[in-house]
C-alpha cells in the first residue's frame, strides 16, 4: 500500500469536533479573574507528561531499530560467507558495513530525541510550578466573592483584596515565566528533533546510494547449468565504495539553518481580541 501524499493532511491534526480551540484565553494582557478560572486545569502538566512518556517510547523504539539493523548487517555478512560464492561473500559483507552504519545513525538520532525531550521536560516542570500559583489565586478569589456576598461590610474584605492583588502579581510573574519557557523550549525541542531528522536522513541517503553502488558490482547475469561465472574482480572497487561512503560522511555538514524571521505582514490575523487586563 502506497501511502497517500499527506494522508494525515488537515488544517488540524485534532479530531474535528475538537478542532476549535476555546476562545478568549490569549495570554495577551494578563488574566482576568474570569479567564483565569476558565483556564485552570486540574493537572496542568498532565498532557505534557504523557507526551514526554510517548517520546520515551519512541526513543526505545529507535534504539531497537538500530540494534536490529546491526544484527541484520552481521547476519547478512555471515550468510554471504557461507554461500561459498566469492562475489556474494564480498558484496554481502560490504552491504553489511553499510547497514551497520545505518544502525549507528539511529543511535545518534536517539541522542537528539533525548535532548529534545529534556526541553519538553522543562516546560512540564514550569507548568507544574505554575499550578499552585493559579490555585492560590483562585482560592482567594472564591473566598473574597463569598465573603462579599455574605458580609459586604466585613473589614476582612479589604485584607482579602490586598492578598488577592499580591497573589495576582505573583501569578503574573509565574505566567510570564510559563509563556516564555513554553515558547522557547517548544521551539528548541522540535528544532533539535527536525535538525536530527535531517541529519539522519541525509546520511542515510549517502549510505544507501553507496549501498546501491555495491549492488551494481555483483554480476547477476543468469547462468546455464555448467556455465562459468567470471572470476570476481570487483573487490578493489567494492572497497573503494566503502572509502567513498566514509569520505562523504566525513565531509557531511549541516546545511546552514536560516532562522526565518516571522513576518507578521500582509496575512490576515485571526483577529481575536485579547482579554482585558485584570488590574
Interface residues for its own copies in 90-129 (CB under 8 A)? 91-97, 100-105, 107-108, 111
Q: Does 169 bind its own copies (CB under 8 A)?
A: yes
In angstroms, the CA 31 to CA 29 distance is 7
- Nearest distance, CB of residue 16 and its own copies, angstroms: 13
Select 153 or 266, whichever has its Cβ closest to its own copies.
266
Q: Which residues, in sequence order, are CB contacts of 68 under 8 Å at separation 6+?
A: 103
Select 160 or 206, whichever has its Cβ closest to its own copies.
206
Burial 29-43 (b: 16+ CB within 10 A, else e): ebbeeebbeebeeee
- From the list 132-140, 148-156, 159-167, 201-209, the region that binds its own copies by CB under 8 A is 201-209
User: Of these, 220, 253, 254, 256, which contacts its own copies (CB under 8 A)?
Assistant: 220
Which residue has 483556564 as its cell numbers? Answer: 39
Site string for its own copies, 53-92 (x = CB under 8 A): -xx-xx--xx-xx--xxxxxxxxxxxx-xxxxxxxxx-xx
Select 157 or 172, whichever has its Cβ closest to its own copies.
172
DSSP state of 267: S
What residues from 6 to 25 belong to the interface with its own copies (CB under 8 A)? 6-14, 18, 21-22, 25
Select 62 or 148, whichever has its Cβ closest to its own copies.
62
Q: Which residues, in sequence order, are CB contacts of 104 under 8 Å at separation 6+?
A: 66, 70
Q: Does 150 bind its own copies (CB under 8 A)?
A: no
In angstroms, the CA 202 to CA 252 distance is 8
Residue pair 94/242 in contact by the 8 Å Cβ criterion: yes
Inter-axis angle of helices 86-150 and 235-251, nearest 10:
20
Q: Does 166 bind its own copies (CB under 8 A)?
A: no
Amino acid at each position: 500500500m502506497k501511502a497517500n501524499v499527506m494522508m494525515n493532511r488537515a488544517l488540524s491534526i485534532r479530531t474535528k469536533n475538537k478542532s476549535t480551540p476555546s476562545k478568549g484565553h490569549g495570554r495577551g494582557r494578563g488574566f482576568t479573574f474570569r479567564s483565569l478560572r476558565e483556564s485552570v486545569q486540574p493537572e496542568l502538566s498532565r498532557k505534557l507528561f504523557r507526551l514526554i512518556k510517548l517520546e520515551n517510547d519512541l526513543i526505545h523504539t529507535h534504539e531497537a531499530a538500530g540494534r536490529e539493523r546491526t544484527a541484520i548487517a552481521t547476519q547478512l555478512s555471515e550468510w554471504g560467507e557461507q554461500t561459498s560464492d566469492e562475489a556474494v561473500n564480498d558484496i554481502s559483507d560490504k552491504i553489511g558495513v553499510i547497514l551497520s552504519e545505518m544502525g549507528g545513525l539511529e543511535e545518534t538520532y536517539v541522542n537528539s530525541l533525548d535532548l529534545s525531550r529534556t526541553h519538553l521536560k522543562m516546560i512540564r516542570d514550569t507548568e507544574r510550578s505554575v499550578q499552585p500559583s493559579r490555585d492560590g489565586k483562585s482560592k482567594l478569589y472564591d473566598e473574597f466573592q463569598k465573603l462579599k456576598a455574605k458580609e459586604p461590610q466585613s473589614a476582612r474584605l479589604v485584607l482579602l483584596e490586598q492578598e488577592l492583588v499580591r497573589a495576582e502579581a505573583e501569578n503574573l510573574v509565574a505566567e510570564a515565566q510559563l509563556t516564555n519557557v513554553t515558547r522557547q523550549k517548544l521551539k528548541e525541542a522540535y528544532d533539535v528533533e527536525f535538525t536530527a531528522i535531517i541529519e539522519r536522513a541525509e546520511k542515510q541517503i549517502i549510505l544507501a546510494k553507496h549501498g546501491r553502488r555495491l549492488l551494481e558490482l555483483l554480476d547477476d547475469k543468469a547462468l546455464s547449468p555448467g556455465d562459468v561465472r567470471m572470476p570476481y574482480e570487483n573487490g578493489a572497487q567494492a572497497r573503494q565504495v566503502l572509502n567513498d561512503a566514509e569520505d562523504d560522511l566525513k565531509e557531511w555538514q549541516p546545511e546552514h539553518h536560516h532562522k526565518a524571521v516571522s513576518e507578521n505582514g500582509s496575512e490576515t490575523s485571526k483577529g481575536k481580541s485579547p482579554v482585558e487586563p485584570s488590574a
